[in-house]
């Protein structure tokens, strides 16, 4: 029984440490100085999403939807203009997510989704009130 414990301790000493995985950054507080056990790795996003680009994407998409929505004269034309603006904004968000700033892509996608849901809420309320689908 006593020999097995020393074999495991010897085997652990022979294990080699590999290079840290990509995206690994040491924690600000090095736990190795505080306790004898090794510190847990801290993984961080290599391209973090910040609040500034998200807010700029939100505001740009809100202005985009307001400009397109204001072209409509009635509920049906407002809804169709909003659908067109939301689809084009989602395409821009997809492009931004692939080659641009992911924070701005998140802002554009959230604002266009919210604007489209507001327009569809008005369409649904009109449909429930008149039993006539307003988009045809």
Q: Is 41 part of any domain?
A: no
In the chain, the number of structural domains is 1
Q: Is 38 part of any domain?
A: no
Q: Is 17 part of any domain?
A: no
Q: Is 124 part of any domain?
A: yes
The pTM of this model reads 0.66
Dist. CA 76–CA 120, nearest whole Å: 10
Alpha-carbon distances of 11 from 5, 17, 52, 70, 102, rounded to whole Å: 10, 13, 50, 72, 45
pLDDT score of 65: 96
Question: Can you tell me the mean pLDDT for 94-123?
Answer: 95
User: What residues make up the domain containing 83?
Assistant: 51-130
Confidence bin at 45 (pLDDT 50/70/90): confident
pLDDT at 53 over 90: yes
pLDDT score of 14: 55
Q: Is 110 part of any domain?
A: yes
Q: Which of 24-33, 37-46, 55-64, 111-120 has the lowest mean pLDDT?
A: 24-33
pLDDT score of 12: 54
Q: Is 46 part of any domain?
A: no
Question: Can you tell me the mean pLDDT for 12-30?
Answer: 63
Q: Is 6 part of any domain?
A: no
Q: Is 12 part of any domain?
A: no
């Amino acid at each position: 029984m006593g020999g097995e414990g020393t074999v495991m301790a010897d085997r652990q000493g022979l294990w080699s440490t590999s290079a840290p995985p990509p995206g690994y950054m040491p924690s600000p507080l090095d736990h190795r100085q505080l306790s004898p056990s090794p510190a847990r790795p801290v993984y961080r996003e290599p391209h973090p999403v910040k609040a500034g680009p998200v807010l700029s994407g939100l505001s740009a998409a809100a202005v985009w939807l307001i400009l397109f929505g204001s072209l409509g004269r009635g509920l049906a034309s407002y809804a169709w203009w909003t659908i067109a603006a939301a689809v084009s904004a989602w395409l821009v968000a997809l492009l931004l997510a692939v080659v641009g700033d992911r924070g701005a892509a998140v802002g554009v996608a959230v604002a266009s989704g919210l604007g489209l849901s507001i327009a569809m809420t008005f369409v649904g309320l009109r449909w429930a009130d008149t039993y006539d689908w307003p988009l045809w």
